[in-house]
Each structure stands twice: as structure tokens, then as C-alpha cells.
Structure 1
């Protein structure tokens, strides 16, 4: 199995608040979640639902997102007091695998480096708890594939990803699930992984 590269050095900044400068001089703040953030579950779910209308992303319940927020398994992106970005991670097979999921940026805030900052924050938050895990990503988005590749992810067949049925059940809320099922496919996405066993790439400042 081809091996992805390790976590970028820039991810080390992500445990605290990380500011993402925009071209017009304003900035966004990215941070990991805590118990005080459960109230952001509804806005985060709304961001995901909106993205799911035009992108191949699975819809998630507010209950699940509250659990991720409470346990520190989510990252939040703010522009002032507005939630404009979100993502979370889950562990599988006792921490052998991690998935970074629900990564969304509000449409008017895209192309400013916020998606990359959220991804780096997810790296750090998940690696602290599961330093030996293989990180997985499922996507059909060329932009996400490019971001993943820049961080060291490599494409793999589904056989190289977790066998946990609960992980794959998450695909059932994707808009393409019925078509994938009709075609006898496990998922419509490209699988990608990142492993922790080689040198990290140089971090970049843009998406």
C-alpha cells in the first residue's frame, strides 16, 4: 500500500486560535471545540446541509455534531461572531483509522485559506489523541482532492480503508447514495489516506 506523508509542521499551531488573513485585511479565527461550543451544532449542521445541496457530502445530525463539539473532536472557523467553517473527526477500529468529515466553508468565505486552516486544525486535534492512526478522506471534490494531495494524502482503493460498517453507513445520507447502490458501488467518492510514517511536506499559505 502506498504511504501518505506525515502531518505538516504548520499544524502545530492549530491547538490554539489560528487567524487566517483575507485579502481585504479582515481575518477569520480557527480553533478546536470544547464543551462550551455545543450551541454551535445547529449552525454547523446548517452549513453542512447547504453544502450537501451542491456537493457530495453526507448530512449529519445535530446530535452527532453536539457530541463532536463537546468532546473536542471538532474545529470551528469564525468571521467575527459568525460561524463560517466547520469540520470534525472520528476514530475507527480502536483508533487505527481516523476520518476527517463534514469539512465545510461558507461559500462567500472560500478561496481565502480557511479550508486549509480547518484541515490543519483537524490534523493537530486528532493526532494529539491518535498519533499512530491512518487518516482517511472520501471526496469527489477536485478542490478537496487538491488540498488533500498538497498535505500528503494519496489515493487508495476502499480495501485500504477501515472495514468498520458504521463508517460506511455514513454514506447513506449523501445525495449520490441511491445511485451508488443501484450501480453496486460501496461509495461514489475517491478514497485517500495519510499515514504518519514519513517526512511532513512544507506548509503552504493558500488553499
Structure 2
């Protein structure tokens, strides 16, 4: 199956029926990878759907195929958490489509927030990079204790605490709206400078062309006088 065989939309009340199945798949996936997604209850997942803070991928027949939800920390950080794709529909490009939609939803709901994630998955890191995330140290993430408590269900939690939350097996990635705004501004300024340079060159070419035309006109007039 391909991405076009699915729809990726914000989850609503009618999708809460899949909360238990989604949580079961999250647990199985974490067990298979040997790492942990912060363990959430079906009630927690369903509540995210009711709040409009989740995205679900559906087959054309309406059955769930993938999921991701939004969490907020410190009032200035947003995490796109719990990304999961049903094993039956993997390798169809769904993870990228879900990440893109949950990222857009996060930007719509929290335009000034920093969006971050912790992952061990190379595929997710690649998707994050394509969205503009940058690898960062853990010190640049939220200090909210409730976020870090979510790591307690991970099999690598002892490593995290042993290293005093400075690093772990997960790679931290961050999308900072202020930094992105600066990058856009710098690119626009660079583009303006390039355009200005082009305009100046065109102006100089036009000036020289006009001067040449004047010289040619004078020569023609001089020749007319000489042979008159």
C-alpha cells in the first residue's frame, strides 16, 4: 500500500474507539525496539483526541493505521509524541505523513513554541531533519519534571539518571521558531543583496550601452558632415 491509500487528519471524538489498540501497539513496538515510548493509558490518548491535539492516519475504509499526539511543557515547549504506525502499513510513507501533519498542527496551535523530540530511530531523525529540526543537547530541552518522568517507562531510564539527564541513547532534536525566523530573515536579506547586485550590474550594462550608442551616433553625424 502507498501513502495515497490513507488519509492523515486531526483525530476527533469518533476516533477514541481506537485508543486501546493504539496503546497496545505502542507497547509492543517499544518492546520490539528495546527502547520506550512514554507509556500512556487509553484514557490519556482518547483525551488527546478530544482536545484536538492528535493526528490519526486512516485507511480508506476508516480503520486506524497510524497515530501521534501533542504534549506541551513549560508553556514554551511542544513535543510530538507517541508516533506509531501499525505494522500492517509500514513502509508506505505514513510515518513521514503523520510527522508532517502533527508538526503543522503544533505550529497552528502553538506558533511561538519550540518543538522537540527524543528518538533512537534513524528514520524519525531523517524526517525531523527534513522538517527543519536540529540536533541539540538535552540542556536545551524543557526542564519540566513531568516530561522527564515520562521517561521512567523506558528500559534505558537508568542510563538517563546515571548521566544526570545530560544525555542518553535517544537523540534530542529541536525546531526553534525564533532561530528559523532568523534563518528566513538572513536568507531573504541574502536574496535581496544578490538581486541588488544583479540590478546594479544590469544598470551598469545599460549605462555602457547608452554611452556606446551616443558615441556611435556622434560618429555617424561626423561622417555625414565629412561626406556632405
Q: Distance in 1 between matches of 2:164 and 2:10?
A: 35
Q: In the alignment, which residue of structure 1 is the partner of 2:111? A: 131
The structure with more radius of gyration: 2
Q: Distance in 2 between matches of 1:134 and 1:179?
A: 26
Maintained 8 Å contact 1:139/1:145: yes
Moved over 4 A (4+): none
Q: Distance in 2 between matches of 1:66 and 1:77?
A: 15
Q: Distance in 1 between matches of 2:2 and 2:23?
A: 25
Q: In the alignment, which residue of structure 2 is the partner of 1:143? A: 123
Which structure's residues are more often helix, by fraction? 2
- Whether 1:31 and 2:12 are equivalent positions in the alignment is no
Which structure's residues are more often strand, by fraction? 1
- Whether 1:184 and 2:160 are equivalent positions in the alignment is no
- Whether 1:93 and 2:71 are equivalent positions in the alignment is no
| Matched residue SS, 1:40 | helix
Offset at 1:71? 0.4
Q: Which runs of 5+ in 1 are unaligned?
A: 1-20, 200-207
Q: How many residues align?
A: 175
* Structure having greater relative contact order (Cα 8 Å, sep ≥ 6): 1
Q: Distance in 2 between matches of 1:158 and 1:179?
A: 14
Question: What TM-score do the two structures reach when normalised by structure 1?
Answer: 0.78
Q: Which runs of 5+ in 2 are unaligned?
A: 185-228
Q: Distance in 1 between matches of 2:160 and 2:112?
A: 32
